Amino acid sequence: MKDYLTDLKLKRNSSFLKIAVSLLLAFCFSSIANAGLSDKASAQQAKVSGQVKSADGTTLPGVNVVVKNSVQGTITDTNGNYSILNVPADATLVFSFVGMKPKEVLVGNKTIIDVVMIDEAIGIDEVVAIGYGTMKKSNLTSSISRITDEAMKERPIMLVGEAFQGQLAGVRAQSSNGGMPGDELTIRIRGMNTINGDSNPLYVIDGVPRTDMNDINPGDIASIQILKDASASSIYGARGGNGVVLIETKQGKGKPSVTVDAYYGFSQTENKLELMNGNQWVAWNMFRRNISHLRAGGSMSDPMSSRSASDQIPGTWENWTPFTDWQDAVFQTAPIQSYQVSASSSGDIGSIYFSAGYVDQDGIVKHSYYERKNIRLNATMNVNKKMKVGVNLGGAYSDKNGAGLDASTGSNGNGKEAALHHALMVTPLMQLNEGTRDWGFPVNVGSTYPNPVEQLKETTDNTKYTRVATSIWGEYEIAKKLAFKTQYSYNYDGYTYEFFQPGNVTYANGYVTLGNSSATTTGVWTFQNTLNYDKILGNHKVSLLLGQSMEQQKYYRIYAAATGWPYESIKTLNVATTPTSATTNRTTYSNASFFGRVNYEYKDRYLVTASIRRDGSSRFGSNSRWGYFPSVSAGWKINEEALLKEADWISLLKFRGAWGMSGNDRIGDYTYMALLGTYNTSWGNQVISGVAPSRIANEDLKWESTRSLDFGIDFSVLRNRIQVNFDYYKNKTKDLLFSVPIPYTTGFSSFTNNVGSLENKGWEVDFTSHNIKRKFNWTTNLNLSRNKNKVLNMGDITEFTSKSQDAYFITKIGGPVSQFYCYQTDGILTSSDFDPEGKPLVPILAGQEEGNVKYVDQPDQNGEKDGKINSNDYVACGNNLPDLIYGVTNRFSWKNFDLSILIQGQLGGDVLFMGQRQFDIGAPNLNGLNRWLRSYKPDYERIYGSGENPVPVDYITEHEIDFSWDGKTPNPVGKNDNNDDRRIYDSGYLRIKNITLGYTLSKNALGNSLVNNIRCYVSLDNVKTFDDYPGYTTETNSFGNSTTMMGVDYSTYPLSRRCVFGVIIDF
Amino acid sequence: MKTYIYKSFTLLGIFLIWSCDDFLTTVPESSYSVASAYKNQSDFEYAIAGVYSAQQDLYSTNSCWFRLIISRSDDTRNGSHNTYGVDQFTDGDNVSTLSVGWQTLWSMINRCNLILDKIESVEFSDSNLKSNITGEAYALRAWAYYTLAWQFGGMPLINKEMSVAETKTILRSTQEETFAFAVADFKKAIELLPATWSGSDLGRVTRYAAEGLLARLLMFQSKFPEAKPYLEDIITSGHYQMEPNYVNCFNDSHDNGKERVWEVQFTGNLSGEGQSFSTGMLPEGYTDAVLIPFPGTAEAMYASLDMANAYETGDLRKDVSIVTNIKVSGVLQSKYHYILKYCHYKYVPQSKTDWANNIPILRYTDVKMMYAECLNEEAYIADGEAFNIINEVRSRAGLTPLTLVNVPNQEAFKKALIQERRVEFAFEGLRWNDLVRWGIAREVINNHFMEKDEGEGAYSMDGDYREIFAIPYDELSRYNDKTVMWQNPGY
């Protein structure tokens, strides 16, 4: 073991293959040690054979037959027969088969042992983690969901969050930046329990609290459990308010085995936007220039040279060739590959699991990619009967390039300056070798955007993470059923970011080459101690937990930026001409907690759990640093009552109710203190340091706390063949950590305080049915959940708005957080809305004319309309939170084939298509959506006189371009506001998320080989999406995960359609 | 068994004791806290610089408050970018730039209050500096209140550090009361401020700057006799003279020169203290390196045709202030006049935000012109001192002097002054203030809007209520109490 560790350490930096080889070597070593320790000498040995059948008499092939506590074993053949040599007389044979109850038979002097295996009732004794302990699933009294390892094993999952999609009621997993490679999904449990705070759940990975689950190898995960209601999450107190995700990694199990898991595939963009093609662009711009000339008082009969320069139509346009399709130019068919090796074993000495993994995904947008290497070792050792020690070590290295598209790094202004956005707007006239400082721009088009392909190629937007998670623990049984556990862990996350954009492709910035780089390190140590005590006294069963934990996080960041590079071949800042910024920053965060829990069960049918946690956090003022988080829950298994005991068909009928409180402390460090900001100025042509308070102190600042009430029914019938879980919940979050807007006359704009309350209520249904369970198996899982979010109170204010670019949001009492806030439209202004002199007869925006979008003049509080269109007419227009989310998984298996189909989607919810403000306005010169060809066109001859028609009739006839009005697209000339409800779309969708077809070859079929099992599969992701959205995807949050500005699509990275071929081999 | 339990709880108890409150008291390692500041002389030097820093923000970018004030007048063509209808008089309560300006002015007031509250009890090694800084805090607070009051009307008078709750109880005063408060502050400042600063203190407010601003405030209320002695004091001090060459009133080569009584300070060298206001004057795609080292911005502001035509033939100030017929993205633009006044430079900016040019708040020429106006209000004296002043300004511009023939009476002289101020101080943010105080805003603006390139009457100043802006909606909603912070009538 020790050698292995040194070995591992030495090889850490070497290539993936070497690691794999060393893992294999180490594996051999450990299995020998294991076997040596566990084999028991025996005098009498014999051959044992027999046949295995199921209860209905059919023979069972592929049943594992193992001599207990040894590596000796075999598998039944196609007729269910087996035979094992040299079986000791005192040995026990263990028969196991998926879906059947394992059976143990003492050999004694028998030489023929026939066995009948019976169906296992499904999941009846499943044990789930509940935080600092485990519990029988059937005895749970709070709402906890589990992602089965089936869901993770059967299809290739690159990021852990993918395993959440469509799997669990009440859990929404959505990408915040479309298909950007390597971006972990955003997880929301039962809506949003906060306004200004962070709504991410707490992640607890192998017992250690963490803020995210990024870069974990999904292949290493044994189980994921989600504590949804506060009675379950309150054991994590101040950090459980948005739910808790418990992730356990794999521990060594059973016979020594090695698994190799590899897949390879391709991805492509799901869809393209309907932009103007080259001829359409030319036709449109001829039209725009003609109309501009007419509006300037000219005539169509004027010679071209007499027009003002910007209205002239170059003669070259007529027969221009070739055109560039910039969407095709930036997208690519991209390869994906993943390789994993793991080894696992357990025995008397303990258990060991270790693995190495490598994934490499090229993005569907050129020059974006994600690459990750993972390594893990989980080991336990039984020191003696009372003491057990263990270690969990996980290392990850990831490398991601967003090619200037990455919204999370913010280097391109929330997508505004991203190449993908530019690709939708640069003219098709521009050639692939145009559009940079060196190459120049197409003549007389006036494009201000650089060549998107070059921009992608030249831009560095690179994020690298090095993550090391270490944890060492020991368990000691002080007395019978009284166990003490201590765990010390240290997690290190090292992040480096590099951005570089040569002046060549940053035309808008004045050709200035820009670069910045930052590095952060976050080190967290956690020390946790718990005592567990179990006691059964007749019908009474009591479990007690008492614990304590401490945690400290140290954060460090260094950032530097520069401009101007003499040569752009070197991209680091040291060779830059002018450094522009250099800062470092450090923060410390600590928390300390005490907690306890009591479970009491009477006759295994009356169940009560109560817990309390006391938490202290450095993020709060000295007046309110500590808080209490209690919970209580109860359950009643009616099926155990005499009344229903006879009803064999009911396996479980349980009512449960729970109340609990948990909190959220996710506001930055030191927020309660008044800090001095540096506000420099200039005197006498020199920089002068200045200071001023950057915020107001609040020594009373404390947690926001979520109180949740949950009622549930768990119901299983027909030996658990049909299982239903239903939950109704109501969460009320009080003392919201709210950056309260305060009058500017105070000198500040906001003040972080505990103000107001918020409600989330809803219901969830989880339904699993084993429809057919024989040679042909069919299982269906369906989950549905609805959540309604409502702001109840915000202290002194009733609403507040937030704004970014043209997008406004409003959060007000009675509505959900973050509603879109804009003009309501009412078709378009027709000629009847103007008098013969052209004066408007209805309220319009300044500069509007016939054919422009008509805006609704909203009544004020007194019900009166002011006859003007201005920001008083903004109304709340939907929000990003869905009404209903659902997922349906159907799994089929027949002989060696397995097939699973996952469909998921949502109803309701809206998304703001922000990018439209630039490519959906019918602008001249830029490219845009082709619907503008069919925009409203007033009667030009009536306005400008006979023969004065700006539509280039000859050109559109020749190229068969339709210029007739489509009945909805407005007149692009005049004024159409950007902040109106035309940009807001229903984000409901139904997606065939995944189809996986697999084929498994067992050892028997493979003959006498080393291999136990081979599974080959083909898996398709994002097969088809049904929605009404004209953009790439509604899975977006271009303004980051800010709670108050949700659901904006500003050049979101498209989702990719993937096709992957994989193989899993068990040795 | 019991002893085991006892032991294990003792064990756990030991861990519990470890987690004490000290562990949870973390101190900021990368920021200063307010509690530890305002304790000695240098703390106050930093604190007063923090006030100037806020003032600088009002002038530093292509979407700053100052730009908006320029666009309100007839100096600029309506329909320029980043003006939110302020230039077209369609503005309501949601002009974000005004909201930001409002916010910045209040943070200046807050920072001054903090200094004034705490400086008294702190021992300075340099007692002059203590009174100077006190004077600066009064002067900057006065300037902020004056600026708020002439643009938004009466303000709540917050004269010390207050809690959020207390601030919310202070009602808006009248514009008169706010001006009176500012006047009192200016007067205190004049007593405490030095006559000059030097070296790396250049640009801080001086006694004469305070006097000049006080005079401007008093003249806004038509209190000419009260304003006059302050202007006289500046003129007789001998510290200032008019720049012989008009362009040097703006070129950074003459920053803090004799002409400049008070100006907002900027530094180049990519120090982060440069401005991008100048960049915002010229259009994107304009790359004539002789005039400007960078292509400008998509939000360039245009001079009005009216403004361009206001210059008399041969006025040297025109070409300093305006540029026409420039190529944008290779296309000759004859349609628009651009503002060149802030783009005369010696230091070549290294980026769009690296202009070193200071932006004038008060030029000596303005001091003299205000003085001339006071004299004329007192009495028309043919060929008197007022004539001398206006002619000195005209002769620098290469124009012929005015005589009693073309300016025969008090009213004619005022007209001449109005015309001269317009061309002399074009785009300096004074025109709108002048139009309002002369009571001719509505007439001038509506005439301006009747011009062909201004929309021929598509826009209008629909009432005198527009002499002040709407209180930002943002602020009203933050108070959410119309008895304390109410909207200006008309909006």
| Residues A267 and A369: beta-carbon distance below 8 Å | no
Confirm or reject contact between A689 and chain B (CB < 8 A). yes
To the nearest 10 degrees (0 to 180), the angle between helices B207-220 and B127-152 is: 20
pLDDT of A166 reads: 87
Distance CA B111, CA A696 (A): 12
CA distance A713 to B260: 80
Q: Which residue has the tokens 């016979």?
A: A255
The pLDDT of residue A266 is 95
Tell whether A803 is within 8 A of chain B (Cβ): yes
> Do the beta carbons of residue A418 and residue A484 sit within 8 Å?
no
Residue-wise pLDDT for A234-286, tens only, equals 899 888 888 999 999 999 988 899 999 999 999 999 889 999 999 999 999 99
Residue A825 near residue A853, CB atoms below 8 Å: yes
- Strand pairing class (A675-678; A807-812): unpaired
Rounded to a whole number of angstroms, the distance from the CA of A686 to the nearest CA of chain B is 6
Per-residue pLDDT at B436 exceeds 50: yes
Question: Which of B23, B48, B255 lies closest to A550 in CB terms?
Answer: B23
DSSP-derived secondary structure for B300-355: PPEEPHHHHHHSPTT-HHHHHHEEEEEEETTEEEEEEEEE-TT---SS--SSTT-B
Q: Which 307-336 residues of chain A touch chain B by CB within 8 A?
A: 308-310
pLDDT tens per residue across span A640-653: 888 777 777 888 89
| pLDDT(A515) > 70 | yes
Task: Write the pLDDT tens digit of every residue in A566-608.
Answer: 888 899 999 998 888 899 999 999 999 999 999 999 988 899 9
- Residue A493 φ then ψ, to 5°: -120, 120
- Between vectors from CA A470 to CA A466 and to CA A475, what angle results, nearest 5°? 165
Query: In sequence order, what E strands does A89-196 have?
Result: 92-96, 103-106, 115-117, 127-129, 134-136, 144-147, 171-174, 186-189
Q: How far is the C-alpha of B308 from the C-alpha of B313, rounded, in Å?
A: 11
* Alpha-carbon gap, residue A509 to A512, rounded angstroms: 6
Which residues, in sequence order, are CB contacts of A574 under 8 Å at separation 6+?
none
Rounded (10°) angle between helices B364-378 and B224-237: 140
The pLDDT value recorded for residue B18 is: 53
A696 touches chain B (CB under 8 A): yes
Q: Do A674 and B9 touch (CB under 8 A)?
A: no
Burial B103-130 (b: 16+ CB within 10 A, else e): bbbbbbbbbbbbbbebbeeeebeeeeeb
In A, minimum Cα distance to B330 occurs at A444
Distance, first Cα to last Cα, chain B: 81
Contact A468, A495 (CB under 8 A): no
Task: Give B14's pLDDT tier (boundaries 50, 70, 90).
Answer: low
Q: Say which residue the tokens 């522009």 belong to.
A: A580
Q: Kindly indicate the confidence band of residue A29, based on its pLDDT and cuts at 50, 70 and 90.
A: very low
Q: Which residue has the tokens 């260094």?
A: A558
Name beta bridge partners: A724. Answer: A715, A767
Distance between CA atoms of residues A875 and A880, nearest Å: 16
The reply to whether residue B28 touches residue A670, judged by beta carbons under 8 angstroms, is yes
Is it the case that residue A396 has pLDDT exceeding 50? yes
Mean pLDDT of chain A: 86
pLDDT of A563 reads 85
Q: Which residues, 6+ apart, have CB-to-CB distance to A332 below 8 Å?
A: A362, A364, A365, A366
B388 min Cα distance to partner chain A (Å): 33
Burial profile A942-951: b = 16 or more Cβ within 10 angstroms, e = fewer: eebeeebbbb
B27 pLDDT band, cuts 50/70/90, is: confident
Is B417 in contact with B266 (CB distance < 8 Å)?
A: no
The tokens for A338 are 């993943």
Collapsed DSSP state (helix, strand, coil) of residue A680: coil
Report which of residues A203 and A196 the model is more confident about. Answer: A203
pLDDT at B262 over 70: yes
Question: Count of residues for chain A?
Answer: 1067
Residue A1041's pLDDT is 66
In this prediction the pTM is 0.81
Residue in chain B lying closest to A870 (CA): B92
pLDDT at position B289 is 54
Q: Are strands A799-804 and A807-812 parallel, antiparallel or unpaired?
A: antiparallel
Residue in chain B closest to A753 (alpha carbons) equals B164
Tokens of B159: 């004269």
Pairing of strands A686-688, A350-362: unpaired
Q: Which residue of B has its CA nearest to A740?
A: B478
One-letter amino acid for residue A871 of the chain: S
Among residues A385, A337, A381, which one has the least CA distance to residue A360?
Answer: A337
Contact residues for B232 (Cβ-Cβ < 8 A; gap 6+): B371
Give residue A340's pLDDT: 94
B84/chain A closest Cα distance in angstroms: 11
- C-beta separation of B283 from B300 below 8 A: yes
Q: Is A121 helix (H, G, I), strand (E, B) or coil?
A: coil
Closest residue in B to A670 (Cα–Cα): B28
| Alpha carbon distance A403, A383 (integer Å) | 52
Residue A14 has pLDDT above 50, yes or no: no
pLDDT(B5) > 70: no
Neighboring chain A residues of B103 at a CB cutoff of 8 Å: 744, 749
Cis peptide before A322 (omega within 30 of 0): yes
Name the pLDDT band for A4 (thresholds 50, 70, 90): very low
Who contacts A127 (Cβ-Cβ below 8 Å, separation ≥6)?
A134, A135, A136, A137
CA A866 – CA A411 distance, rounded (Å)? 42
pLDDT band at A985 (very low <50, low <70, confident <90, very high): very high
**Beta strand A686-688 with A540-563: parallel, antiparallel or unpaired?**
unpaired
pLDDT of residue B295: 67
Yes or no, beta carbons of B33 and A676 under 8 Å apart: yes
A133 — pLDDT class (breaks 50, 70, 90): confident
Query: Average pLDDT of B211-230?
Result: 97
Tens digit of each residue's pLDDT (9 = 90 or more) over B308-357: 999 999 999 999 999 887 777 666 777 788 899 999 999 988 888 899 99
Write the pLDDT tens digit of every residue in B125-138: 999 999 999 999 99
Mean of per-residue pLDDT scores for chain B: 90
Among all chains, which residue has been given the structure tokens 């005589």?
B403
Interval A144-150 mean pLDDT: 79
What's the full length of chain B, in residues? 491
For residue A6, give Cα distances in angstroms to A394, A470, A491, A1052.
Answer: 15, 16, 20, 45
Percent of chain B with pLDDT over 90: 70
| Cα–Cα nearest to A463, from A368, A544, A531, A345 | A368
Q: Per DSSP, which regions of A480-513 are E strands?
A: 482-501
Alpha helices, H only, B322-463: 364-378, 385-396, 410-424, 431-438, 441-449
A73 touches A84 (CB < 8 A): yes
Task: List pLDDT tens digits, range A51-79.
Answer: 888 776 777 877 888 888 777 788 888 78
pLDDT tens across B97-154, in order?
999 999 999 999 999 999 999 999 999 999 999 999 999 999 999 999 999 999 999 9
B11 is written with which tokens? 């064990």
Say if A592 is an interface residue toward chain B (CB within 8 Å).
yes
- Using an 8 Å CB-CB cutoff, list chain A residues near B25: 618, 622
Give residue A371's pLDDT: 96
CA–CA gap between residue A910 and residue A985 (Å, rounded): 5
Tens digits of per-residue pLDDT, A1030-1062? 889 888 887 776 778 888 888 888 889 999 999
Segments of B76-169 assigned E as strands: none
Mean pLDDT of B407-435: 96
* pLDDT the model gives residue B20: 60
Q: Is B264 exposed, middle or buried (0-12, 13-18, 19+ CB in 10 A)?
A: buried
Quick one: pLDDT at residue A633?
94
Kindly report, residue by residue over A848-889, the tens digit of the pLDDT: 888 999 999 999 888 888 888 877 889 999 999 999 999 999
A352: three-class secondary structure by DSSP? strand
Can you give the pLDDT at residue A1067? 86
Greatest alpha-carbon pair distance for chain A in Å reads: 114
Identify which of A446, A683, A846 has the shortest CB distance to residue B203.
A683
- 3-class secondary-structure state, position B240: coil
Q: Please tell me what DSSP assigns to residue B454.
A: G
CA A501, CA A406: separation in Å to the nearest integer?
Answer: 14
Task: Please state, in angstroms and rounded to a whole number, the distance separating the CA atoms of residues A894 and A488.
Answer: 47
Q: Name the residue among A381, A359, A379, A383 with its Cα closest to residue A371.
A: A359
Judged on CB neighbours under 10 Å (0-12, 13-18, 19+), B226 is middle
- Cβ within 8 Å of residue A343, ≥6 positions away: A23, A24, A26, A27, A30, A256, A257, A258, A259, A352, A353, A354, A355
Give the other-Cβ count within 10 Å of A316's Cβ.
12
B88 closest CB neighbour out of A443, A587, A846: A846
Higher pLDDT: A481 or A489? It is A489
